[in-house]
């Protein structure tokens, strides 16, 4: 699952989630350092939430900066125009 959101308060945020069986791997890219720190701090809670759902958080990586463009155009995420403004 690839997701890219750009809420004005937090800036660009990309998330790549891979689910294989009951294992979940998450990689997050945040352009702003403060946002990356907040996301990193949420890792234990995400692990607990997934555990309650019968899943295991196998990997959780947070990187500061923009997500690199995939070299394979087929693997490139498709923009859905998702607007999360209330």
What is the pLDDT, as a whole number, of residue 38?
93
- pLDDT attached to residue 78: 54
Q: Which residue has the tokens 């995939």?
A: 70
How far is it, in rounded angstroms, from Cα 59 to Cα 47?
10
**62 φ, ψ (degrees, to nearest 5):** -120, 125
**Tell me, what's the pLDDT at 86?**
42
Query: Taking the CA atoms of the chain, what radius of gyration do you get in angstroms?
Result: 14
Binned average pLDDT, 10 residues per bin, the chain of 86 residues: 90 94 96 93 95 96 87 54 52
Q: What is the pLDDT of residue 41?
A: 95
């Amino acid at each position: 699952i690839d997701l890219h959101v750009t809420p004005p308060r937090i800036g660009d945020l990309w998330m790549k989630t891979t689910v294989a069986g009951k294992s979940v791997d998450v990689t997050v890219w945040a352009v702003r350092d403060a946002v990356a720190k907040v996301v990193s701090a949420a890792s234990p809670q995400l692990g607990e939430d997934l555990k309650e759902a019968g899943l295991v958080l196998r990997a959780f990586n947070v990187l500061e900066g923009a997500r690199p463009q995939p070299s394979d155009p087929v693997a490139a995420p498709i923009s859905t125009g998702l607007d999360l403004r209330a």
